[in-house]
Amino acid sequence: MSSSESKQRAAPAIPRPSATVIVVNSRNEILLVHRNPKSTSFAGAHVFPGGNYDKKQDDGQGLPFTAIRELFEESGLLLVHPSSTGTPSDAELDSAREDIHAQRRLFRDFLSQHGLKPNVEALLPFTQWITPVTVPKRFHTQFYVTFLADARPGSRFSSGDKQERLPTPDGGQEVIAARFVHPARALAECAAERIALFPPQFYLLRTLADVLTGAQNTAQQRARVRTLSAGAFGRMVVNPRPARDPEAEAAGFRVLAYEGDETRGGSPGRRHRCRVKFGAGGVANSIMLERNFDIFSEIEEAAFAESKPAKL
């Protein structure tokens, strides 16, 4: 093998642009979807609804549009602007979901035909994450957060559990369930190994669990989340990198350091990392977040790369 061939094979995959939306309902519950254990991406994990930018579906629209389309495809929840005039029936929504996912219909055509406008204004940027270079399938994901109190959902699915039957091109199921759950409960289920989370989802659930306390969403809580979105936190671009930690390694953990950690441009003693135990399929079955600074006022932005959206 020539040196050029070796370098070519060693080159990391280019991250695919993608978008994910964290939907919060009136009870401070967050929408999670359960990926099919046989899926080629995030198999068996609980994630926020989202997916890759699709040039055919999303061309000229941008990642907020991608997030709303993927949310609709994966959960049936349609975020439309309050000025929208149409009210599709459940049958029309179900039919459109299947057709859009199968590429038999364009999402924007469905919206136009029913007098609907996607509520992209309600999506608040909430960090970007880039898959580590060692992973074969890589994504540059823009996370958003939105509140159902600020949006008009185009379906009646806004709390509780719902079974999904989403057809995929290969005849399988991409998402096997969707439900709203409080972030503190989701974290407890992860700790008990009842659900599997990836580090970005764990990080953002941990962040929101500290803000969305109680079972009633309030204007003050929404204001605090908006403050995070508009500040340094919302602009963070996170590129996890392996870090040495003998104590963690002795306990069977791998360590992923984030920008702002003392090993990644942060001040001495600054901790911004997670300890992870990965199970089958690369899904984390145990995660611990180490973050010893105030995300509202103490983020050292100089340690982070300039916030740029993924190239579409």
HSE of 101 in the Cβ direction (CA atoms, 13 Å)? 26
Q: Return all residues near 160 (Cβ < 8 A) that are at least 6 apart.
A: 179, 180
Q: Environment class of residue 186 by beta-carbon count within 10 Å: exposed (0-12), middle (13-18) or buried (19+)?
A: buried
87-91, 107-111, 135-139, 307-311, range with greatest mean pLDDT: 107-111
Confidence label for 6 from pLDDT (cuts 50, 70 and 90): very low
Confidence label for 262 from pLDDT (cuts 50, 70 and 90): very high
Instruction: Name the pTM for this structure.
Output: 0.89
41-45, 89-93, 269-273, range with greatest mean pLDDT: 269-273
Q: What is the mean pLDDT of the chain?
A: 87
pLDDT-wise least confident of 27-36, 100-109, 183-192, 258-267: 27-36
* Sign of the dihedral through C-alpha 67, 71, 72, 74: positive
Confidence label for 311 from pLDDT (cuts 50, 70 and 90): confident
DSSP β-bridge partners for residue 128 = 142, 237
Confidence label for 65 from pLDDT (cuts 50, 70 and 90): very high
pLDDT for 281: 64
> Is 42's pLDDT higher than 70?
no
Strand (E) or helix (H) holding 4: helix 3-10
pLDDT for 213: 97
For residue range 70-80, what is the model confidence (pLDDT) as tens digits? 999 888 888 98
pLDDT for 163: 41
HSE of 203 in the Cβ direction (CA atoms, 13 Å)? 23
- In the block, which residue shows the tokens 């953990």? 253
